[in-house]
Copies of this chain bind each other. A is one copy, B any other.
């Protein structure tokens, strides 16, 4: 039945539980019946599942809407996930520095499934913004981080990721795979990517790859800001800064830049 090889554990109920968490995450909050429908199981099953999740505080019940949302148990885990993560620890000081220099928002993203997940963020403006992108998912083809992750992925991985259609989010979103592939080659030459109002109108960004010990792609580091502050003429300079910062992070992770590796 499974067309995709896609090996892995086969614990149905566990898989369902994880699926449920993701669904709740997507929708903000869900009721038992609604969850049951989305999981394609009987509501009784959904009820018991959610009760189990609630038991460990992975989800909690909103007292007013009576629906379930993600709970603190999850936050506790994720804190450990982020905190115990070499990448975030290594990158933080450099992110701070880059944000300081550019006065724009700096994001660190990794590839997860078929999208970018931001694992850390530092804002350039001193006023701490309430809303963080950390944990957010964005598409690959229209974000600077995503393009970097695509550009430096293995060929097989890139082919897999580009098999799906590229949704249009703004008039300037690149939806043609061929055009995107051309741009990815350019990115590999230049060393950084850029997006200009492809994800969101008025939002530009540049990004560069973070590599691990073996030269493998680990994450992407981006600087993003409003189009009027990050004009086309500014991007090369910002791109250079970002690439330098990304290289600094890579070095911290044990990456050694072997000689002058052209292209």
Contact = CB atoms under 8 A, between A and B. Distances in A.
Interface of A: 7-11, 13-19, 21-22, 25-26, 28-29, 47-58, 63, 69-85, 89, 92-93, 96, 110, 112-113, 117-119, 122, 126, 128, 130-137, 212-213
Given A25-B76, A77-B78, A11 B52 contact: yes
Contacts of A75: 78, 81-82, 117, 119, 134-135
A71 B18 CA distance: 13
Contacts of A128: 96, 122
A48 B11 contact: yes
Contact of A13 (B11, B28, B63, B74): B11
A75 B81 CA distance: 7
4 smallest beta-carbon distances between A and B, as pairs: A79-B135, A78-B78, A9-B52, A9-B51
A37 B137 CA distance: 35
A20 to B, nearest CB: 9
Nearest to A25: B80
Contacts of A57: 112-113
6 contacts: A14-B14, A18-B73, A69-B84, A71-B81, A78-B81, A79-B134
A174 B84 CA distance: 29
Given A18-B53, A93-B130, A10 B48 contact: yes
Contacts of A22: 56, 73, 77
A116 to B, nearest CB: 10
A53 B15 CA distance: 8
A18 B58 contact: yes
Contact of A135 (B15, B82, B118, B126): B82
Given A48-B9, A52-B10, A132 B84 contact: no
Contact of A77 (B21, B85, B89): B21
B132 A83 contact: yes
A58 B118 CA distance: 15
B79 A14 contact: no
A110 B55 CA distance: 16
A245 to B, nearest CB: 15
B9 A83 contact: no
Contacts of A89: 130-131
A15 B56 contact: yes
A57 to B, nearest CB: 6
